[in-house]
């Protein structure tokens, strides 16, 4: 269990533990220790020393974000600090938070209580996507049990600290996962991202100091408090602490969630996922979900963490790999991604609202064999306008441009062949080889 702290206790059928069962496995010891023996500052320092980076996509150090949260009385006006758990998981290829929500909800509750303590938050909200009904049910039940046991509510464990926690079931739309859009959603509005600054720690939910963290990030916290920062750091093979709940899907024989040390390689993970399927030869992979750039076989041995993947020219994102073998066409994958991001644009800013549907249409044409060479210039321009250093309002568009930009750069010949041959060359050659 210790080498897979986050998923080691999950049951194969994902039935969650009752609070009693969870306690028998050591559950809530960290909460008792944290709230009885440690100050909020000490909990925060431990998370800092553990080098826990956010697992929701950007890899921002959790403790650094938490330090922006004002202490009671420091923020102007009345009202609580909020701690929000982001369980919107909708990135193409991402299915890692699901297991943590469904199978180990008490781990999440424990982590959230400690995180709330460290950020002086007295209200915890867990936003969960609509399609994860089992997750909504299991987390809600875990919260009820924790309340009944006195881990939530008034004066938790005699600490003088009050904490309320509840689940907000969402109702669709990928953009809800963007943290400021999520705050808008919780306020009962359309989920359009907010301008930053002010950052949520200054002015978040209902204008109050707010921290948003990913489900996996929060699920790490009790382990750090229970076993120490050095232990957490030692789980990793790199400078970034902990294990990582990876997921591998696409053209692999056994797509699955795999908890492995931070810094595990794509070669190892693909092997654990039963190896490359299709013709068994890797063409490329996305290391961090749909919004991460393509990497090829020369990156198979790159230690997967935020720093190393960035240095390799992509983004670690959600740490969920999408694998393509030689018989799978990256142009087709990019077409699916563009259709997705275009549909999920919130519509607020022009580059994204108008640029993504345009790119999606062009990709569909190219894939169908009715594209033109001049289309490639339009796609490149879209990448320029909407890419990471571009002019869109939030990172949805920038993310969407990662597979498109890296796809054009790495697989330009395939794009051109689709256009010149008026069909998908990969599918055609594969059919020929099979015949």
Candidate ranges 83-91, 103-111, 228-236, 386-394; the one touching ligand SF4 (CB under 6 A): 386-394
Span interacting with ligand FMN, options 152-160, 201-209, 388-396, 420-428, rule CB under 6 A: 388-396
Shortest Cβ 172–other proteins spacing (Å): 3
Place of tokens 């908890």: 259
> Least distance (Å) from ligand SF4 to the CB of residue 214?
19
> Residue 115: which residues within 8 A CB-CB, separation 6 or more?
66, 83, 121, 211, 213, 218, 221
- Note whether 12 binds other proteins by CB under 8 A: no
Q: Does 126 bind ligand SF4 (CB under 6 A)?
A: no
How many of the chain's residues bind other proteins (CB under 8 A)? 50
Chain residues 333-362 in contact with ligand SF4, contact rule CB under 6 A: 345-349, 352-353
Q: Does 212 bind ligand FMN (CB under 6 A)?
A: yes
CB of 350 to ligand FMN, least distance (A): 17
Q: Among ligand SF4, other proteins, ligand FMN, none, what binds residue 428 when CB lies within 5 to 8 Å by partner kind? A: none
Per the DSSP assignment, residues forming a β-bridge with 276 are: 252
CA 362, 367, 370, 371 torsion-angle sign: positive
By CB under 8 A, residue 144 contacts other proteins: no
Q: Return the residue of 193, 204, 255, 371 that touches ligand SF4, per CB under 6 A.
A: 193
Among 30, 163, 186, 396, binds ligand FMN (CB under 6 A): 396
345 binds, among ligand FMN, ligand SF4, other proteins, none (CB under 5 to 8 A by kind): ligand SF4
Q: Work out whether 209 is an interface residue with ligand FMN (CB under 6 A).
A: no
Question: Could you say which of 19, 108, 175, 304 contacts ligand FMN (CB under 6 A)?
Answer: 175
Binding site partner of 54, from ligand FMN, ligand SF4, other proteins, none, Cβ cut-off 5-8 A by kind:
ligand FMN
Binding to ligand FMN in span 70-99, by CB under 6 A: 86, 88-90
Which of 171, 281, 297, 409 is the binder for other proteins (CB under 8 A)? 171
- Neighbouring CB atoms inside 10 A of 182's CB total 26
Q: Under the criterion CB under 6 A, does residue 110 sit at the interface with ligand FMN?
A: no
* Rounded least distance, CB 346 to ligand SF4, Å: 3
- What residues make contact with ligand FMN under the rule CB under 6 A? 54-58, 60, 86, 88-90, 174-175, 177-179, 212-214, 217, 394-396
- What residues make contact with ligand SF4 under the rule CB under 6 A? 175, 193, 345-349, 352-353, 392-394, 396-397
- What residues make contact with other proteins under the rule CB under 8 A? 89-95, 97-98, 125, 129-133, 166, 169-174, 185-191, 206, 247, 249-251, 255-257, 290, 320, 322, 324, 328, 332-333, 336-337, 339-340, 343-344
């Amino acid at each position: 269990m210790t080498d897979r702290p986050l998923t080691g206790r999950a049951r194969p059928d994902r039935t969650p533990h009752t609070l009693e069962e969870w306690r028998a496995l050591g559950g809530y010891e960290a909460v008792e220790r944290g709230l009885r023996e440690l100050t909020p500052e000490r909990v925060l320092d431990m998370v800092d020393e553990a080098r826990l980076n956010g697992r929701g996509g950007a890899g921002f150090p959790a403790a650094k974000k938490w330090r922006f949260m004002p202490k009671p009385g420091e923020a102007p006006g009345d009202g609580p600090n909020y701690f929000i758990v982001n369980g919107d998981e909708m990135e193409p290829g991402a299915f890692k938070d699901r297991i943590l929500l469904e199978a180990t909800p008490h781990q999440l509750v424990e982590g959230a209580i400690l995180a709330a303590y460290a950020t002086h938050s007295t209200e915890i909200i867990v936003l969960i996507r609509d399609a994860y009904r089992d997750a909504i049910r299991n987390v809600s039940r875990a919260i009820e049990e924790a309340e009944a046991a006195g881990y939530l509510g008034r004066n938790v464990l005699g600490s003088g600290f009050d904490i309320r926690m509840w689940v907000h079931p969402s109702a669709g739309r990928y953009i809800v996962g963007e943290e400021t859009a999520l705050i808008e959603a919780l306020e009962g509005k359309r989920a359009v991202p907010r301008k930053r600054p002010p950052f949520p720690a200054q002015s978040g939910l209902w204008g109050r100091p707010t921290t948003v963290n990913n489900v996996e990030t929060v699920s790490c916290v009790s382990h750090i408090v229970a076993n120490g920062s050095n232990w957490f750091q030692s789980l990793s093979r790199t400078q970034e602490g902990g294990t990582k709940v990876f997921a591998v899907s696409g053209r692999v024989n056994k797509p699955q969630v795999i908890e492995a040390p931070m810094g595990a390689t794509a070669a190892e993970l693909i092997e654990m996922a039963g190896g490359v399927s299709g013709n068994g030869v890797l063409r490329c992979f996305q290391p961090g979900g749909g919004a991460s750039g393509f990497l090829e076989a020369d990156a198979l041995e790159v230690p997967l963490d935020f720093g190393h993947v960035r240095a390799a020219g992509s983004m670690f994102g959600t740490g969920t790999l999408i694998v393509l073998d030689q018989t799978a066409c990256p142009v087709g994958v990019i077409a699916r991604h563009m259709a997705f991001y275009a549909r999920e644009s919130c519509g607020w800013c022009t580059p994204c609202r108008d640029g993504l549907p345009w790119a999606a249409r062009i990709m569909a044409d190219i894939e169908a064999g009715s594209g033109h060479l001049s289309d490639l210039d339009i796609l490149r321009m879209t990448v320029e306008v909407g890419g990471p250093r571009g002019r869109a309002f939030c990172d949805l568009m920038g993310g969407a441009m990662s597979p498109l930009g890296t796809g054009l750069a790495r697989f330009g010949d395939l794009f051109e062949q689709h256009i010149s041959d008026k069909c998908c060359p990969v599918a055609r050659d594969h059919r020929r080889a099979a015949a």
